[in-house]
């Protein structure tokens, strides 16, 4: 029993009695939630919950072929948005669709793309539970094609529709389908948009007021219809009929709670164990005095240097490393030769603290290695600078590689003659013999001149330095400009010449203002575009009313994205007369000619795009400065 029977909701507003549907639905949900919390075992005789250990379902052959073609097109045309490829692959027959799409893009790229270009380093929205510190240490390389951009299976589409129909039961089905069409049926991307649309709906406002009176908040994750809580502590995901959607819901809602709860439990257990151990050690008179802060600690919280066996507590080691990293005590505390911390006891000591004890002090109580990684990166960086070796550094993290250029090598004369004798035609051999005989008359002067130049280059440092710099410059010119970082948390590709993010095709020293302008324009157009849920055609209203008619005949509202039937027509919009314009005070219907504060939406999208762009480029300017200067 993998599929859960879901109640079907009919069209809204068939009769006047439908006005009270939000109140009935909210009351029914509150009663069902209360019944489930009171009697969780009697909710269902069979547990229909998602198991995170389940293997992912295999893709259908046609879907696998479409996604393979989509990945190939993204690799060939990385500057084009994936939605262009999806539209072209769907509209072309299965036979040689990849070749046909490639030919169309090579011959008529502007016609198909229509300014839908991909910004450099475009990232997907992060899911909850991600560490906020991870991007500062060098964010992972962006995948060439995110999971949200792939073709979705029919099971996933049906399941995500049913989930949204239950989660946002105050919205019409056409509105939900319109948002799903805009976001490629992605649950993660569609849910924030639907929350914004539902917050502006008066039906949602009445339903929310009713649900709050009954103790049920629809904006709370705990009230999600497919999240089941066991004793209000551990969340589980109900099966939706699609294993892919089940896994997405688990990572979006359940996994952050489980991870945080596990970390809190581990931290609490460590504190209890430490307190109990200190109490037992104090009763047994087995405490040791730290030779830095002179506090009494147990044996498990003591480190010993490798010279005079000074006893130092782990808290003092952690404070010393923090001061060395983020203060002024680096030269006194760090030992670059052993990549560890010097002994800082009150007595003079030339010993060091072993690395395993330093790591234990920096990671005690929590599963966090950020400080230890920062310390290791700082030690490695200082050691590289002191070595004076030529190395190539990744501009996005602390990874570096030593540049080992091959030394110039002279071939032996016999090897040159063997090469000419074995591969050159007879005419070339005769010419070479004649030329070699002619050069024998000048052997002694040439040898003397060569020895003189070699002696001058070897004995005079400026000439030797100029010669080596010329050879190095020639080798750098012949070396490919593409540098790939091998750090497991980075793996980005950059340009050696301009240290910018590598994109195909790449041009060095691209204007940052042009790059930022492209990012802001793309984000602004994505924020105001609409997509027909029937034919998946994207469009933006330039002028006119908010009743939009697609080429396929589908009619929808530009404001709320809901379907407008032929019977409803312009009755979907407000019919009351307003002298000074503004919002109607007699009804909550959409405006026929209103833009729904489109400029504010564009500005918010532009500021968010600028913030993401500055995070990628490691910029330090204030928020909204460049956006204000550009627009």
Tens of pLDDT, residue by residue over 488-499, are 888 888 888 777
Mean pLDDT of 281-288: 89
Taking the C-alpha atoms of residue 423 and residue 418, their distance in angstroms, rounded to an integer, is 8
What residues contact residue 568 under an 8 Å CB cut-off, 6+ apart?
none
For residue 39, name the pLDDT band (cuts at 50, 70, 90): very low
**Per-residue model confidence (pLDDT) at position 489:** 82
Half-sphere exposure of 437 (CA within 13 A, CB side): 5
Taking the C-alpha atoms of residue 64 and residue 79, their distance in angstroms, rounded to an integer, is 23
CA distances for 313 relative to 267, 289, 291, 292, angstroms: 19, 8, 8, 8
For residue 165, name the pLDDT band (cuts at 50, 70, 90): very high
Evaluate if pTM is beyond 0.75: no
| Total residues found in the chain within this entry | 631
E strand or H helix that includes residue 100: helix 97-107
Q: Give me the chain's average pLDDT, please.
A: 76
Lowest mean pLDDT among 113-127, 169-183, 398-412, 517-531: 113-127
Burial state string for 38-52 with b = 16 or more CB within 10 A and e = fewer than 16? eeeeeeeeeebebee
Q: Which of 265, 302, 266, 267 is nearest to 281 (CA)?
A: 302
Taking the C-alpha atoms of residue 529 and residue 178, their distance in angstroms, rounded to an integer, is 11
Cis peptide before 275 (omega within 30 of 0): no
379: its two tokens: 């030690």
At residue 55, does pLDDT exceed 80?
Answer: no
Taking the C-alpha atoms of residue 147 and residue 245, their distance in angstroms, rounded to an integer, is 12
Please state, as a whole number, how many other Cβ atoms lie within 10 Å of the Cβ of residue 397: 18
Taking the C-alpha atoms of residue 63 and residue 219, their distance in angstroms, rounded to an integer, is 34
pLDDT digits (tens, 9 = 90+) for 582-600: 777 788 888 888 766 777 8
Taking the C-alpha atoms of residue 554 and residue 170, their distance in angstroms, rounded to an integer, is 22
Mean pLDDT of 15-34: 49
Parallel/antiparallel/unpaired status of strands 391-393 and 482-484: unpaired
Taking the C-alpha atoms of residue 380 and residue 357, their distance in angstroms, rounded to an integer, is 19
365: its two tokens: 């109580």
pLDDT digits (tens, 9 = 90+) for 406-458: 666 666 767 777 777 777 777 877 777 777 777 776 677 777 777 787 777 77
Evaluated on CA atoms 361, 362, 366, 368, the torsion sign reads negative
**Per-residue model confidence (pLDDT) at position 128:** 43
pLDDT digits (tens, 9 = 90+) for 291-307: 888 889 888 889 999 88
Nearest-5° Cα angle at 260, 225 to 257: 5
Taking the C-alpha atoms of residue 343 and residue 309, their distance in angstroms, rounded to an integer, is 9
E strand or H helix that includes residue 453: helix 443-459
For every residue of 141-197, DSSP letters joined together read PPPSS-GGGSPPPHHHHHHHHHHHHHHTTTS-HHHHHHHHHHTTT-HHHHHHHHHHH
**Per-residue model confidence (pLDDT) at position 159:** 92
pLDDT digits (tens, 9 = 90+) for 508-543: 655 555 667 777 877 777 777 888 888 777 888 878
pLDDT digits (tens, 9 = 90+) for 95-113: 888 899 999 888 888 888 8
Evaluated on CA atoms 567, 570, 574, 578, the torsion sign reads negative
Ranges of beta strands (E only) in 375-487 are 391-393, 400-402, 482-484
30: its two tokens: 């509150």
**β-bridge partners, 524:** none
**Per-residue model confidence (pLDDT) at position 628:** 46
21: its two tokens: 């549907």
Taking the C-alpha atoms of residue 258 and residue 128, their distance in angstroms, rounded to an integer, is 12
Nearest-5° Cα angle at 606, 604 to 607: 65
- CB-count burial class (<10 Å; 0-12, 13-18, 19+) for 541: middle
Judge contact between 145 and 231, C-beta under 8 A: no
Q: Which of 578, 573, 535 is nearest to 178 (CA)?
A: 535
Q: Does domain 288-389 have CATH number 3.30.70?
A: no
E strand or H helix that includes residue 333: helix 330-333
Taking the C-alpha atoms of residue 128 and residue 577, their distance in angstroms, rounded to an integer, is 46
16: its two tokens: 């006047």
CA distances for 206 relative to 32, 113, 191, 212, 568, angstroms: 19, 43, 20, 10, 23
Q: Which of 278, 268, 307, 272 is nearest to 291 (CA)?
A: 307
E strand or H helix that includes residue 615: helix 598-617
User: In the chain, where are the structural domains located?
Assistant: 288-389, 512-631
SS3 556: strand
**Per-residue model confidence (pLDDT) at position 161:** 92
pLDDT digits (tens, 9 = 90+) for 463-476: 667 777 777 777 77
Please state, as a whole number, how many other Cβ atoms lie within 10 Å of the Cβ of residue 616: 20
């Amino acid at each position: 029993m993998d599929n859960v029977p879901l109640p079907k909701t009919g069209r809204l507003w068939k009769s006047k009695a439908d006005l009270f549907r939000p109140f009935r639905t909210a009351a029914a949900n509150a009663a069902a939630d209360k019944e489930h919390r009171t009697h969780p075992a009697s909710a269902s005789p069979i547990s229909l919950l998602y198991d995170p250990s389940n293997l992912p379902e295999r893709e259908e052959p046609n879907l696998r072929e479409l996604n393979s073609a989509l990945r190939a097109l993204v690799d060939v045309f990385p500057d084009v948005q994936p939605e262009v490829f999806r539209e072209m692959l769907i509209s072309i027959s299965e036979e040689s669709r990849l070749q046909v799409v490639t030919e169309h893009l090579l011959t008529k790229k502007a016609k198909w793309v229509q300014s839908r270009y991909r910004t450099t380093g475009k990232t997907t929205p992060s899911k909850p539970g991600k560490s906020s510190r991870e991007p500062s240490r060098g964010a992972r390389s962006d995948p060439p094609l995110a999971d949200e951009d792939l073709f979705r299976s029919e099971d996933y589409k049906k399941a995500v529709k049913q989930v949204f129909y239950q989660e946002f039961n105050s919205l019409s089905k056409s509105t939900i389908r319109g948002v799903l069409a805009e976001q490629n049926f992605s649950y993660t991307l569609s849910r924030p948009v639907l929350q914004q649309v539902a917050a502006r709906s008066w039906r949602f406002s009445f339903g929310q007021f009713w649900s709050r009176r009954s103790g049920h908040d629809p904006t709370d994750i705990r009230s999600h219809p497919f999240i089941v809580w066991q004793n209000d502590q551990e969340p589980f995901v109900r099966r939706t009929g699609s294993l892919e959607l089940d896994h997405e819901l688990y990572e979006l809602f359940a996994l952050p709670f489980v991870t945080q709860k596990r970390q809190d439990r581990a931290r609490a257990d460590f504190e209890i164990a430490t307190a109990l151990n200190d109490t037992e050690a104090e009763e047994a008179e087995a405490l040791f005095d730290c030779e830095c802060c002179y506090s009494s600690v147990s044996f498990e919280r003591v480190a010993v240097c490798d010279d005079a066996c000074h006893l130092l507590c782990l808290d003092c080691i952690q404070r010393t490393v923090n001061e060395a990293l983020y203060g002024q005590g680096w030269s006194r505390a760090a030992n670059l030769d052993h990549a560890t911390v010097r002994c800082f006891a009150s007595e003079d000591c030339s010993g060091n603290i072993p690395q395993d004890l330093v790591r234990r002090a920096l990671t005690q109580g929590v599963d966090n290695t950020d400080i230890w990684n920062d310390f290791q990166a700082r030690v490695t960086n200082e050691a590289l600078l002191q070595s004076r070796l030529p190395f190539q550094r990744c501009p996005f993290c602390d990874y570096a590689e030593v540049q080992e250029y091959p030394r110039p090598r002279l071939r032996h004369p016999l090897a040159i003659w063997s090469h000419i004798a074995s591969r050159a035609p007879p005419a070339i051999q005769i010419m070479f013999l004649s030329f070699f005989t002619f050069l024998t008359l000048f052997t002694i002067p040439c040898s003397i001149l060569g020895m003189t130049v070699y002696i001058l280059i070897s004995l005079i440092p400026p000439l030797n330095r100029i010669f080596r710099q010329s050879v190095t410059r020639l080798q750098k010119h012949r070396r490919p400009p593409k540098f790939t970082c091998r750090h497991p948390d980075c793996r980005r590709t950059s340009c050696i010449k301009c240290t910018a993010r590598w994109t195909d095709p790449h041009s060095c020293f691209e204007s940052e203002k042009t790059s930022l302008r492209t990012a802001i324009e793309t984000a602004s157009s994505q924020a105001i575009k609409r997509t027909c849920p029937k034919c998946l055609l994207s469009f933006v209203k330039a002028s006119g009313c908010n009743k939009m008619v697609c080429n396929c005949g589908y009619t929808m509202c530009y404001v709320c994205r809901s379907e407008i039937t032929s019977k409803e027509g312009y009755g979907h919009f407000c019919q009351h007369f307003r002298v000074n314009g503004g919002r109607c005070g007699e009804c909550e219907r959409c405006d026929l000619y209103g833009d729904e504060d489109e400029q504010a939406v564009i500005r918010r999208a532009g500021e968010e795009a600028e913030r993401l762009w500055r995070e990628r480029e490691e910029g330090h300017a204030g928020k909204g400065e460049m956006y204000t200067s550009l627009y």
